[in-house]
Chain A
Amino acid sequence: MKYVDEYRNSEIAKRYIEEIWKVTKGNWMIMEVCGGQTHTIIKYNIDEVLPSKITFIHGPGCPVCVTPIEIIDKAIEIASLKDVIFCSFGDMLRVPGSKKDLFAVKEEGGDVRIVYSPLDALKIAIKNPSKEVVFFGVGFETTAPANAMAIYQAKMMGIKNFSVLISHVLVPPTMEAILNSPSNRVNGFLAAGHVCTVMGYKEYESIASKYKVPIVVTGFEPLDILQGVLMLVRQLEEGRYDVENQYTRSVRREGNLQAQSILREVFDIIDMKWRGMGIIKSSGLGIKESYKEYDAERKFLIGHIKVEEPKECISGLVLQGVKKPFECNAFGTLCTPEHPLGAPMVSSEGACAAYYKYKVNKV
């Protein structure tokens, strides 16, 4: 595939790896914010071919992983209702709630369907006027404009049987939360290329200068990651803390203005609970009052559901990069991809599942 295959070229990769070996002198902790990047790093075992002085800390950037257990339970409650068609991205189906997952709802006869796009869920609503169609709108800034469009369109078209259970999280407040944590070990960030495609990277400039931490906006293919690491290490070695853009083929400094404007139209910025990390101020998106009839949480009166997370699971610490997955007592024993305890074991890009799946020297 054009613009995919060429970024997996082994010769160029080798040259980047050599270059990184040359410039690395200090010990650096690098956090790749995005789960997609974690996936590439683990899948191509990039951390094994780089100097051991570079340590990757896998960040919280997996929407499947950070969606709080409470929202999953709410999703399960709605999906179990009669006359509801519950639509979701595929990877949310296996995320464990406090008692079961959405797959179990399907097994019990619930109408749970996998869709590729939120607009597909809207189509299903149009096709099934006698059913309530609910879309599970999770994700970061990248996915938010898509979910916003589904809500906006539903309103424009006057569709009454469609609503969205929203759980949207924002990256910059989370990066700040990590940097403010007393246990923070991160020296530099690879910022998420697709989040920045939508939002731009102006917001990151103040983070970089306030915390004196370099940030490189990075893509998702092996060569992107390698170039991002090289750019970041060069900054670290030179004592710079700029925001640089590796993913120039997609990211502009101001981001995607059209997408941002629909986000402002449909969503408010709210305080948000993250799985394993608690409430982070102004770190999420909620549906505006003017679109409240499309908010599944208000439509189905599920606000009373309150759930605590399992104690054995240290996913919060893993997501903050304080602990590695194998430092968890439950890893590979109580918690496996078949029976995940915490969300990072669910998504194939979750730090725990990625470790479990690809690591040669796994426990």
Chain B
Amino acid sequence: MGFECPAPINSRSSEKIRLGHGGGGRLTNNLIENVFKPIFSNEYLDKLHDGAVIDLPVNRIAFSTDSYVVSPIFFPGGDIGKLSITGTINDLAMCGAKPLFISLALILEEGFEIENLKNILVSIKLVADKVGVKVVTGDTKVVNKGKGDGIYINTSGIGIIEHNMNICPQSVKPGDLIVLSGDIGRHGATILSLREGIDFEVSLESDCNELWTPVEALINEGIEIHCLRDLTRGGLTSALNEIAKSSNLGVFIEEENVPVIEEVKAVCEVLGLDPLYVANEGRFIAVVPEKFANKTAEIISNVTGVNSSIIGRIQEENKGKVLMKSLIGSVRLLDMISGEQLPRIC
């Protein structure tokens, strides 16, 4: 082989992402062949076509997309990869759709460790295998050093709906009960504890997890599901407010029924935050007719191993509002949060 300019990449520098990895040339190809294909190989991806051509077995599908930025990229209980695939799977699951196909788009910052990239992709693959979804198409771009936080991810997903229920806020009826899938606030409290200047020592882990498994169990057991909503940023309160507003009905919950583990409670006390507004990445609420509520909580608890409980009900009164009976017996309004909760001194 003749002399090449620039000189061939030595093995050291090839461990990091370079601008050329997003350029569509040989480096991009290396990345696909050496990193992506070994992890994700499947009949759709291996064709290396511009898009995935797929046959769907049903007419009703759900389609969703979400982008992920998180700091730190690796955190106790997960990483940005796990977050990015569970996020889209969960959005599909909340439509009652069985997730089947996922697209994966990465924006990498120059200098990002390829080893870290591999670990992130393996996290994605582990969740994908558990749920039975395939990563069928993808894209990678690289931005200059200093123009990104290491890695940003976008995933989109297609899920199929194999039942006749109309799972959405408009299906919610007065008298329905609200079942919460587990204790709240773990993800937000974990991430916050790690920030510079906060520096708590915790054994907390993010609740980051896929929710199709419990939802599928509910569908299979014949639960009549009126609405599902995963709790993400803005916490339980935002999810409940969205349901109250979209259904134009009232939501009433009791604070003592909402489980918060001791460590999450402690992080919130010390920083002056309210766990009802703290982010979650693996919890959801199911709104079901009263006669299905106990069974719903029981199924979720069995499948996830986390205690699920009935936290409240849907009512005619106070349309569009969420009310909560506090620990001391008074009733207060739970409004949406404006912006991010900030640690406060007072």
Q: B343 touches which one: A1, A35, A43, A114 (CB < 8 A)?
A: A114
Contact string against A for B residues 302-346, beta-carbon threshold 8 Å, 1 for contact and 0 otherwise: 000000000000000010010100111111110100110011111
Q: Does residue A337 face the partner (Cβ distance < 8 Å to B)?
A: yes
Q: A116 touches which one: B271, B331, B332, B333 (CB < 8 A)?
A: B271
Q: Does residue A206 face the partner (Cβ distance < 8 Å to B)?
A: no
Q: A114 touches which one: B318, B331, B342 (CB < 8 A)?
A: B342
Choose the segment among A45-53, A173-181, A196-204, A270-278 that binds chain B (4+ C-beta atoms closer than 8 Å). A45-53
Please tell me if the beta carbons of A360 and B323 are within 8 angstroms of each other in the complex: yes
Contact A45-B346, Cβ < 8 Å, known A116-B198, A338-B339: no
Please tell me if the beta carbons of A1 and B265 are within 8 angstroms of each other in the complex: yes
When chains A and B are docked, how far (Å) is the Cα of A121 from the Cα of B323? 40
Give the residue name and chain of the A residue nearest to B338 (CB): A337
Please tell me if the beta carbons of A45 and B330 are within 8 angstroms of each other in the complex: yes
**Highest count of chain A CB atoms <10 Å: which of B269, B270, B318, B343:** B343
- List 6 other contacts, CB 8 Å, given A44-B332, A360-B333: A1-B265, A62-B346, A91-B272, A94-B342, A114-B195, A139-B346
Please tell me if the beta carbons of B345 and A91 are within 8 angstroms of each other in the complex: yes
Smallest Cβ distance from B62 to chain A, in angstroms? 31
Contact string against B for A residues 56-100, beta-carbon threshold 8 Å, 1 for contact and 0 otherwise: 000001111000000000000000000000010111011000000
Q: Does residue A115 face the partner (Cβ distance < 8 Å to B)?
A: yes
Please tell me if the beta carbons of A35 and B346 are within 8 angstroms of each other in the complex: yes
Q: Does residue B43 face the partner (Cβ distance < 8 Å to A)?
A: no
Q: Which residues of chain B (153-203) have a CB below 8 Å from chain A?
A: 195-199
> Which residues of the partner chain A approach B48 to less than 8 Å between Cβ atoms?
none
Give the residue name and chain of the A residue nearest to B342 (CB): A90
A-B interface, 8 closest residue pairs, ranked by CB to CB distance from nearest: A90-B342, A115-B197, A90-B343, A45-B330, A13-B328, A337-B338, A91-B344, A89-B345
Please tell me if the beta carbons of B338 and A338 are within 8 angstroms of each other in the complex: yes
Contact A113-B328, Cβ < 8 Å, known A35-B346, A62-B346, A143-B345: no
Contact A10-B327, Cβ < 8 Å, known A347-B344, A348-B344, A358-B335: yes
When chains A and B are docked, how far (Å) is the Cα of A45 from the Cα of B324? 11
Number of interface residues of B (CB under 8 A): 32
Please tell me if the beta carbons of B329 and A14 are within 8 angstroms of each other in the complex: yes
Contact A64-B346, Cβ < 8 Å, known A8-B328, A43-B332: yes
Smallest Cβ distance from B286 to chain A, in angstroms? 26
Contact A63-B346, Cβ < 8 Å, known A8-B328, A45-B326: yes
Please tell me if the beta carbons of B344 and A8 are within 8 angstroms of each other in the complex: no
Q: Does residue B126 face the partner (Cβ distance < 8 Å to A)?
A: no
Please tell me if the beta carbons of B332 and A139 are within 8 angstroms of each other in the complex: no
Interface of B is mostly: loop
Q: Which residues of chain A (338-363) have a CB below 8 Å from chain B?
A: 338, 347-349, 356-360, 362
When chains A and B are docked, how far (Å) is the Cα of A36 from the Cα of B342? 15
Please tell me if the beta carbons of B346 and A91 are within 8 angstroms of each other in the complex: yes
When chains A and B are docked, how far (Å) is the Cα of A166 from the Cα of B328? 38
Q: B197 touches which one: A48, A113, A139 (CB < 8 A)?
A: A113
Q: B199 touches which one: A36, A91, A120, A139 (CB < 8 A)?
A: A120
When chains A and B are docked, how far (Å) is the Cα of A61 from the Cα of B269? 19
When chains A and B are docked, how far (Å) is the Cα of A89 from the Cα of B197? 10
Please tell me if the beta carbons of A124 and B197 are within 8 angstroms of each other in the complex: yes
When chains A and B are docked, how far (Å) is the Cα of A94 from the Cα of B343? 12
When chains A and B are docked, how far (Å) is the Cα of A90 from the Cα of B331? 28
User: Which residues of chain B have a CB within 8 Å of any CB of chain A?
Assistant: 195-199, 256, 262, 265-266, 269-272, 318, 321, 323, 326-333, 335, 338-339, 342-346
**Highest count of chain A CB atoms <10 Å: which of B270, B271, B331, B333:** B333
> Which residues of the partner chain A approach B345 to less than 8 Å between Cβ atoms?
63, 89-91, 138-139, 143
Contact string against B for A residues 109-121, beta-carbon threshold 8 Å, 1 for contact and 0 otherwise: 0000111100011
When chains A and B are docked, how far (Å) is the Cα of A114 from the Cα of B266? 19
Contact A44-B326, Cβ < 8 Å, known A91-B346, A114-B342: yes
Q: B346 touches which one: A10, A36, A87 (CB < 8 A)?
A: A36
Please tell me if the beta carbons of B333 and A349 are within 8 angstroms of each other in the complex: no
Smallest Cβ distance from A198 to chain B, in angstroms? 14
Q: Does residue A336 face the partner (Cβ distance < 8 Å to B)?
A: yes
Smallest Cβ distance from B146 to chain A, in angstroms? 12
Contact A360-B332, Cβ < 8 Å, known A116-B198, A116-B271: yes
> Which residues of the partner chain A approach B197 to less than 8 Å between Cβ atoms?
87, 113-116, 120-121, 124
Please tell me if the beta carbons of B330 and A44 are within 8 angstroms of each other in the complex: yes
Could you show 6 A-B contacts with beta carbons less than 8 Å apart? A10-B256, A48-B331, A63-B345, A116-B270, A349-B346, A358-B333
When chains A and B are docked, how far (Å) is the Cα of A46 from the Cα of B327? 11
> Which residues of the partner chain B approach A348 to less than 8 Å between Cβ atoms?
272, 344
Q: Does residue A4 face the partner (Cβ distance < 8 Å to B)?
A: yes
Smallest Cβ distance from A69 to chain B, in angstroms? 18
Smallest Cβ distance from B257 to chain A, in angstroms? 13
Contact string against B for A residues 1-32, beta-carbon threshold 8 Å, 1 for contact and 0 otherwise: 10010001110011000000000000000000
Please tell me if the beta carbons of A89 and B343 are within 8 angstroms of each other in the complex: yes
> Which residues of the partner chain B approach A347 to less than 8 Å between Cβ atoms?
344, 346
When chains A and B are docked, how far (Å) is the Cα of A48 from the Cα of B195? 38
Smallest Cβ distance from A49 to chain B, in angstroms? 5
Smallest Cβ distance from B256 to chain A, in angstroms? 8
